Structures are given as structure tokens and as C-alpha cells.
Amino acid sequence: MTKTTAPYDVDAVRRDFPILATSVRGKPLVYLDSAATSQKPQVVIDAITTYYSSQNSNVHRSVHYLAERATVAFEEARARVARFVNAPAPESVVWTRGTTEAVNLVANAWGDGNVKTGDVLLLTEMEHHANLVPWQMLAKRRGAKLRFVPITDDGLLDMDAVASRLAEGPKLFAFTAKSNVLGTENPVADLCRMARGAGAATFVDAAQTVPHGGVDVAALGCDFLAFSSHKALGPMGVGALVVRPPMYDRMTPWQGGGEMIQRVRLEESTYAPPPIRFEAGTPSAADAIGLHAALDYLDELGGTVPGSFPPSSSPIHDHVTGLTRLALDLLHGLDVRTFGPADASRRSGIVAFEVPGLHPHDVAQFLDARCGIAVRAGHHCAQPLMRRLGVVATCRASFYLYNTESEVRALADGLRAAMEYFRR
Amino acid sequence: MKDAPEPTFDALYRDLILEHYRTPHGKAPLAREDVVTEGVNPICGDEVDVALQQDGGKLVGVRVDPRGCAISVASGSILFDLVEGKTIDEARRHVAAVKATLQGGTAPTGVDLGDFEALEGVKQFPVRIKCALLPWTTLDQALSELEAKGGKS
């Protein structure tokens, strides 16, 4: 279904987010940290309130009225996720606590049964700790080896190295769809095709891309894809792992308990079919239902354009990419060093930067206290990448569907003032 | 009930702190470095090296090499001013006093924290307390390593 959308009206969008009308240290909030977590529109807050006011019950257990309502809403949310990323069926979606738990789930449920001593797991140098540490732990458990695709000096994946590392026959290629530091948008469909040709399973960390729409797992051809609700306007505490259904046959349960079982005896149990098999314990139903409202909201703004990735024609992505280009131009005019591709068409939404001679923490504190601007300062859960870039930490501004050009200009003005303050 | 006053930026970045930041003390290499301890703040990845040279239980040499923010650099510079020439026990009392100042608890009596008082504003910015503490927790560890090597007076 194609949608025709009116010109992007960021002011109208902002009115949907109550927190954006608040003040920070006496100044209007300028929130440039959506890559860490997004703010929430009123419809999402309302969905959670409605759930707890009129639907709350444990799902998949009782037969009473509330339990039925909660279960239906919870499963509708699963189907909503499947539609949003064009998964083949609701059953391809496993609820998790977020991207991190999804990686851990696959590293255990798939990894322990499929990775043997001496096998190779291929990752990249630009991964978030979430898509690195669980694989390190798997490699240690199974005696497997880790290999890494390096990045070019321009912050892109070295595609020649992808080909040569894949030729070594890794069991798995796990990579991010978009770097949370560089903003680089990787050619996910190409990478999946190359991995498939080499016989490697693929895991895509889509935490930074799903929020901007246009992610289509059928077109990407990945085996596993994960994202978090909280970066996509939804509540914290829930996320989804999207599994290409045949992979379920190669996975065993990783956490045991209620819900994931079929029949339990004292000595042994049989398990529920997937995806419930991988969802032990009471799920965060309210948050899943909140995510449903968030995905509806994103769709209405025109976030989803199935089949296009990187999502070149989504209104949300266009808006965010425009802000990114403006930020790069303004920061370069200030002699601020930015990281990531010089070619703005290869990146979106994220600008990590360093003000020569100033520490990122001091810059971020100044922006916060003097300008009400929220940016991230630190290693962004990507210490190996920081090392590759030759820095300990950076500042990072990230943009989302509610940010404005004037906020980007405020960032540049704030940086100019910070330089004057610390260098005086 | 009135809200607590908003913490101010200038309470954190006092002029004295910025002076220490721009020209930190204690970066010179020591004639002999009995221990060199590296401290890391896992939140931001900031690092600091604290090197000690002791003679008869006295810290005759202290080197602080910070790779961090203004707060941690200034704190390290003040650390140098306060503990160089002190005994190991006196240095430990300074560490305890700094921790008590920033984190609460009972401070040892009779410790003059000198310029460190200018860092008290950090208390209003809880996430920055670790920045100010980093050189001191590293010193604490360096003192333990020094003692383990048999340097206790």
C-alpha cells in the first residue's frame, strides 16, 4: 500500500510529544539524543495507561474476560510488528526485552547448537557492545573464533574485506544496519546476499533503522533481525527478534519457565511452538501494546516504505537526513571534527563529533546547562570503534522525526559558545 | 514546598577548576616509578595514570597523567598538590576525605582538602561525581599496590 503524505509538518509532530514542551534548567528542551532513546508521543503514553486502566491481566493464561482482552491485544501487537517490518507471519516475531536480549537469545538458542570448536563468527568493527559481547561469550563457550570486517577511514564497511572474510566460511555474519556512532547506513540486502552465498547465517542489528521506517525483512533476506521499542517511539522494556521461520528448526529454548512450555512433568517438559517457545515468563504486555501504538504512529507519518533500504523515500528518513546534512555543514564551519562518512548520502540521523581541545563531557555539560541541549557524551557502547577512531569518547547529536532546523542551529551556536567558555 | 535551586554550571566549572584543567600539575615523569596504576571510568572511557615513588613510607614522587574531562583533570591536578610529599597513611586519609566529601559518610578529621573544596559543586551533578573521583580511586589502588610491594612504612 502506498501512501501519499502532505509536506512534513514537524510542528504538528512536536505537539504530539508532551516532553518536548518542557524546560530544562530554565530553557526549552532541545533533545538531540534519540539514538539513545526516543521520546514518546501521547498516543503511546495513552496506550499504556489504557492497558493498565482497563485491560491489565496476565496474557496466555486465564480464560476470564480481562485475560482474553489482554492476550488479544498482545498478539495484535505482535502482528503489528510483523507488518511493520514485512515479516512473513506474526509467528516470526519473538518478543524480547530489547535488541540486547535478542542478540543474547540468538547467541544461546541458535549459537550453542550450531557453533562448534574452530568455527568462525564474523562481526564488524562498528558494532555496539550489544552486538559484540554476546558473540564473544558464545565464542568462548564453544571454542569458536571471532573475525571482524574493518571499516574504512571514511567510516564505511570495507566491502572487499566482507568478501574475503566471508570466503573463510563463517557460521554467522552479525552486523549493524546503521552505526550508532558514525550514522553509516550499511547495504544490508547486499551483505545478506553475500553471506547467504557463503553459507553464513545473518543477524542484523536494526536498533537504529527500524525507528526510521522502511525495514523489510523479506527484501533484506536476513535470518535474524532485532530492534528495540524504545528507540522507535515505544516504551522501554520490550523489543522484537524477527526470525526467518526455517531458523526455528535449528534453535533450542534458552530460558525455561512458564509460558514457553507445552507439558511439564517433574523430570522433563515439552515446549510450546515458536515464538512462544522463546518467551519464558510473563512478558511486558503493556509495553508491547505501547509499541503497537508507536508503530501505528510511525506508519501514519509515512515511516514505512516496504522494500526500500536504506529507506530513501520515507518522509521520516528524508526529514532526519536533511537535519543531518545541515548539522554536518554547520559543524564543519566551526572546525569541529565529525566522524563517519563524508558522503552525506551514506549516513543519516547521527553525528558524532569532537571539539578540538575540549573533552566531550565538558562540551555536553555546557550544552545542557547553558543551552538546554541534550546530546550524548561518552563511548556510545562502542569502545572498540572509539579505539579505531583514535578517541576515548565523543559527543553525539542524533536527530529524529520531531527535531527541527532551529534545534540544529542551536547546537552549532552552543558549540561556538562552549569553545569561547573553555578556551577563554 | 520549594524545589531545590537548579544546580548552576558555574558551580561545577569554578574558575579555580578551569585553571587546574588548563595547566594541570603533576604531569612530569618521576625519577623512579615504583607503581603505575591505570584507572578507567567505565561510563565515559576516561583514563588516568597515577604513578608513585616512595621513600621510607613517604610519597616523594607523584605523577598524574589524566586523559579525561575538565573535572577529572582538575581533580588529578589537585590530588598532586595534596598528596605529594605525604606519607602513605596521610594519602589514604586524603582519599577517605575526598570520598566522604563527594559521596557522604564520615570524613577523617584534620584533613585539609585545599583546592578540592572548589570541586564540591560536583555533588549537584551526580553523574559527574565519578569524574572527580577517578584520580582518587586510582590513587587508592596505587597505594594498595605499593603496600603489596612492601612499601608500607
Mean pLDDT, chain A, integer: 93
SS3 content of chain A, % helix, strand, coil (to 5): 45, 15, 40
Phi, psi of B47 (to 5 degrees): -130, 155
Residues A283 and A141 grouped into a single domain: yes
Query: Is the residue at A3 inside a domain?
Result: no
- The CATH code of the domain that includes B73 is 3.90.1010.10
> Cis omega before residue A211 (within 30°)?
no
pLDDT digits (tens, 9 = 90+) for A231-290: 999 999 999 999 999 999 999 999 999 889 999 999 999 999 999 999 999 999 999 999
Query: Is the residue at A271 inside a domain?
Result: yes
Query: A333: burial class by Cβ within 10 Å (0-12, 13-18, 19+)?
Result: exposed
> Where does a domain end: A300, A332, A347?
A300
- The CATH code of the domain that includes A292 is 3.40.640.10
Residue A303, pLDDT score: 56
User: B46–A370: do the CB atoms touch at under 8 Å?
Assistant: no
User: B70–A359: do the CB atoms touch at under 8 Å?
Assistant: yes
Query: Is the residue at A346 inside a domain?
Result: yes
Å from B10 to nearest chain A CA? 9
Residues A31 and A102 grouped into a single domain: no
Residue B153, pLDDT score: 44
Q: Which amino acid is at A320?
A: V
Residues A287 and A416 grouped into a single domain: no
The gap between the terminal CA atoms of chain A, to the nearest Å, is: 57
**Residues of A with Cβ-Cβ distance to B71 under 8 angstroms:** 361-362
**Helix A405-423 and helix A360-371: axis angle, to 10°?**
120
Instruction: Provide DSSP, A88-132.
Output: S-GGGEEEESSHHHHHHHHHHHTHHHH--TT-EEEEETT--GGGT
What's the rounded Cα separation, in Å, for the pair A20 and A385? Answer: 32
Q: Which amino acid is at A397?
A: A
Residue A312, pLDDT score: 53
Residues A142 and A166 grouped into a single domain: yes
Query: Is the residue at A35 inside a domain?
Result: yes
Which residue in chain B has the smallest CA separation from A378? B44
Question: Residue A252 is part of which domain span?
Answer: 46-300
> Where does a domain end: A300, A323, A354?
A300
**Residues of B with Cβ-Cβ distance to A421 under 8 angstroms:** 13
The owner of cell 603505575 is B36
Residues A109 and A190 grouped into a single domain: yes
Q: Is residue B1 over pLDDT 50?
A: no
Contact A309, A247 (CB under 8 A): no
What's the rounded Cα separation, in Å, for the pair A158 and A297? Answer: 36
Residue A8, pLDDT score: 87
Total number of domains in chain B: 1
Residue A4, pLDDT score: 46
Å from B151 to nearest chain A CA? 33
Q: Is residue B6 over pLDDT 70?
A: no
State the sign of the Cα–Cα–Cα–Cα dihedral A154, A155, A159, A164.
Answer: positive
Query: Is the residue at B126 inside a domain?
Result: yes
| ipTM of the complex, rounded to two decimals | 0.77
Q: How many CB atoms lie within 10 A of CB A335?
A: 10
User: Residues in chain A whose beta carbon is closer than 8 A to a beta carbon of chain B?
Assistant: 25-26, 359-362, 365-366, 369-370, 377-379, 383, 386, 392-393, 421-422
Query: Is the residue at B125 inside a domain?
Result: yes
Query: Is the residue at A4 inside a domain?
Result: no
A-contacting residues of B 81-120, CB under 8 Å? Answer: none
- The CATH code of the domain that includes A372 is 3.90.1150.10
The owner of cell 559558545 is A417
Which residue in chain A has the smallest CA separation from B46? A392
Å from B87 to nearest chain A CA? 33
Question: Residue B94 is part of which domain span?
Answer: 9-147
Residue A344, pLDDT score: 86
> Where does a domain end: A273, A300, A327?
A300
User: B68–A360: do the CB atoms touch at under 8 Å?
Assistant: no
A243 or B47, greater pLDDT: A243
Residue B3, pLDDT score: 46
pLDDT digits (tens, 9 = 90+) for A194-230: 999 999 999 999 999 999 988 999 999 999 999 999 9
**Residues of B with Cβ-Cβ distance to A377 under 8 angstroms:** 44
What's the rounded Cα separation, in Å, for the pair B76 and B138? Answer: 10
Q: Which residues lie below 8 Å from residue A352, measured CB to CB, with a gap of 6+?
A: A181, A182, A183, A338, A339, A340, A380, A394, A395, A396
Residues A265 and A318 grouped into a single domain: no
Residue A208, pLDDT score: 97
Query: Is the residue at B17 inside a domain?
Result: yes
**Residues of B with Cβ-Cβ distance to A392 under 8 angstroms:** 44-47, 67-68
Query: Is the residue at B65 inside a domain?
Result: yes
Q: Which of A24, A380, A386, A392 to mutate to test the interface with B (most CBs of B within 10 A)?
A: A392
Total number of domains in chain A: 2
Residues A197 and A340 grouped into a single domain: no
Q: Which residues lie below 8 Å from residue B113, measured CB to CB, with a gap of 6+?
A: B82, B94, B97, B98, B101
Query: Is the residue at A306 inside a domain?
Result: no
The pTM assigned to this predicted structure is 0.89
pLDDT digits (tens, 9 = 90+) for B143-153: 999 999 874 44
Residues A285 and A407 grouped into a single domain: no
User: B70–A362: do the CB atoms touch at under 8 Å?
Assistant: yes
State the sign of the Cα–Cα–Cα–Cα dihedral A391, A24, B117, B39.
Answer: negative
- Angle at the Cα of B97 from the Cα atoms of B94 and B103, rounded to 5 degrees: 135
Residues A261 and A330 grouped into a single domain: no
As given in the structure block, the three cell numbers for residue A342 are 563524508
**Residues of B with Cβ-Cβ distance to A25 under 8 angstroms:** 6
What's the rounded Cα separation, in Å, for the pair A381 and A371? Answer: 25
Which residue in chain A has the smallest CA separation from B122? A365
Query: Is the residue at B98 inside a domain?
Result: yes
One pLDDT digit (tens) per residue for chain A, 424 residues: 344 445 789 999 999 999 999 998 889 999 999 999 999 999 999 999 999 999 999 998 888 989 999 999 999 999 999 999 999 999 999 999 999 999 999 999 999 999 999 999 999 999 999 999 999 999 999 999 999 999 999 999 999 999 999 999 999 999 999 999 999 999 999 999 999 999 999 999 999 999 998 899 999 999 999 999 999 999 999 999 999 999 999 999 999 998 899 999 999 999 999 999 999 999 999 999 999 999 999 999 875 554 445 555 678 988 999 999 999 999 999 989 999 998 888 999 999 999 998 999 999 999 999 999 999 998 888 889 988 998 888 999 999 999 999 999 999 999 999 999 887 6
Residues A246 and A101 grouped into a single domain: yes
Count of pairs with CB atoms under 8 A, one residue in A, one in B: 51
Query: Is the residue at A5 inside a domain?
Result: no
pLDDT band at B2 (very low <50, low <70, confident <90, very high): very low
What's the rounded Cα separation, in Å, for the pair B22 and B24? Answer: 6
